[in-house]
Amino acid sequence: QLHLQESGPGLVKPSETLSLTCTVSGGSISSSAYYWGWVRQSPGKGLEWIGTMYYSETTYYNPSLKSRVTIFVDTSKNQFSLWLNSVTAADTAVYYCARLPPYDYRTGYYFDYWGQGTLVTVSS
Amino acid sequence: DIQMTQSPSSLSASVGDRVTITCRASQSISNYLSWYQHKPGKAPKLLIYAASTLQDGVPSRFSGSGSGTTFTLTISSLQPEDFATYYCQQSYNTPRGGTFGQGTKVEIK
């Protein structure tokens, strides 16, 4: 059974960089054709896609966050990570990592496995 | 951008009730629509993808339908474990990601 677990600081100061890691167990992050992504949920709000990467390190970002986001992989540790720079209070959220199955033109993209999420608060 | 609008934003229902949630897209998204169940403190759970395909292991009381701009998630007989918030997600114009609806909270009546 695939398991994803987010980790990282729960408190980040404004203007600094948020850094989170997702550790994948029960499967290889290099498995062919799967994508790996980040989604967040701000307090009282809905879900927002942040970005997605392929194990080859090809990345795709939400245009609204693209200038501040970096997602990268460490295949030796079976982990992928999120950096979000120049954070503000608006970036306070629960951050989830998730897997996307290989693309099929009949189904589009969706998230089939998720981590439990980690709360990151931006505050001085 | 494609906007996803769910209705209602919340509902109260009793165990055994039939529940229907609607998700409307601001433009056609073919069948690139998924549904998720989310409980506080837990990982979101994929219920349905491609508008109507039930994810493995999801009870058959959940079903999805629709194409184009209007989609529905139906729970045929609400169970105690189904009280949660439900989200739709489209990936038509955001490949390898998606846009989510604002959520529908299903509460106990």
What confidence tens digit (pLDDT) does each residue in A45-68 have? 889 999 999 877 789 999 999 999
Option in B30, B44, B97 nearest A49 (CB): B97
Segment B55-92, tens digit of pLDDT: 999 999 999 999 999 999 999 999 999 999 999 999 99
Residues of chain A contacting residue B44, judged by C-beta atoms under 8 Å apart: 47, 96, 98, 111, 114
Phi, psi of A45 (to 5 degrees): -120, 180
Quick check: B97 and A60 in contact, CB under 8 A?
Answer: yes
Q: Whose structure tokens read 């987010």?
A: A6
CB A13 within 8 A of CB A32: no
Cα–Cα distance, A36 to A49 (Å, whole number): 12
Strands A118-122 and A11-12: parallel
- Residue B34 to residue A111: CA distance in whole angstroms: 9
- Which candidate from B34, B41, B43 shows the least CB-CB separation from A110? B34
> Beta-carbon neighbour count of residue A13 at 10 Å?
11
Nearest alpha carbon to residue A100 among B12, B6, B36, B76: B36
Q: Kindly determine whether residue B98 and residue A109, on different chains, have CB atoms separated by under 8 Å.
A: yes
Question: pLDDT tens across A93-112, in order?
Answer: 999 999 999 888 898 999 99
